[in-house]
Amino acid sequence: MSTRRVPAAACVTAACLIAAGGWAGAGAQGGPPMPGGAPQPSTTRMVLKGKAPVSSDLLKVRLPRPQQADLANGLRVIALEDRRLPQITFQIIIPGAGGYFDPAEKIGLASYAAQLMREGTKTRTSPQISEAIETMSATLNVGSGLSGMSATLSGSALTEDFGKLMDLAADVLLNPVFAPEEWDRLKARTKAGFVQNRTNPNFLASETFNRAVFGTHPAGRVSPTATHLDAITPDALVEFHRARYVPD
């Protein structure tokens, strides 16, 4: 009597087909009982269309198109009109002014430069800038992350005050002075924050995780240290602004 070997793969395939066929046959009759004795719902009348339902009303939405223009200094302006409120909001993006470009020994330089830009210009003191913003009920902020490649200046105001806010924004953007006394105040506040961070388990966990994943890459930065802070001087802030805050 002769025997013939059947490939193992064929046995597995046959077993799968039998199992699938048995389940399908049972499903046509209502399927095997579910736990608790309730019959499984029949699938014989289900129709699969292969796509999610989409409301026809959603397809009627028409997004406004922005207007664009390039200025002579290389700055690109994009404007999007929405006249439902008497308010104007703007954002200026400065590529190359982010923390990604911080020197290794001065991590936080970009972030601190952005914070200090609102703390005094060649013609306005920090209190004068804050008072002007408060009087208009406007907003004006400058920010830069520890690892991003850009800094941003953003603000908003009522339409009637937009000219005054843009004048103030231009002064903050182009003429910050980085006064030593303002830098000393920022350093004192920041060092106090460092001490508080070191008592926070979530901060320590985030710092350890980022170091393990990103190593020395800028993306791994969670916070500067007191050593980095002491290495930054008002002259370094001035030089960073002069080199990085340019329209091109």
pLDDT in tens, 215-239: 889 888 889 999 999 999 999 999 9
Burial of 190 (0-12, 13-18, 19+ CB in 10 A): middle
Q: Would you kindly state where each structural domain of the chain is located, as residue ranges?
A: 68-244
Whether the predicted pLDDT of 21 surpasses 70: no
What is the pLDDT at residue 33?
58
CATH number assigned to the domain covering 68-244: 3.30.830.10
Q: Average of pLDDT values for 141-154?
A: 94
Q: Average of pLDDT values for 172-195?
A: 94
Contacts of 111 (CB under 8 A, 6+ apart): 99, 143, 144, 145, 146, 224
d(CA 194, CA 186): 12
Phi and psi at 50, nearest 5°, equal 80, 10
* Closest listed residue to residue 75, CA positions, set 93, 57, 87: 93
In this prediction the pTM is 0.70
What is the pLDDT at residue 74?
85
d(CA 104, CA 220): 13
**Model confidence band, residue 105 (pLDDT cutoffs 50, 70, 90):** very high
Whether the predicted pLDDT of 107 surpasses 70: yes
Which residue has better confidence, 1 or 179? 179
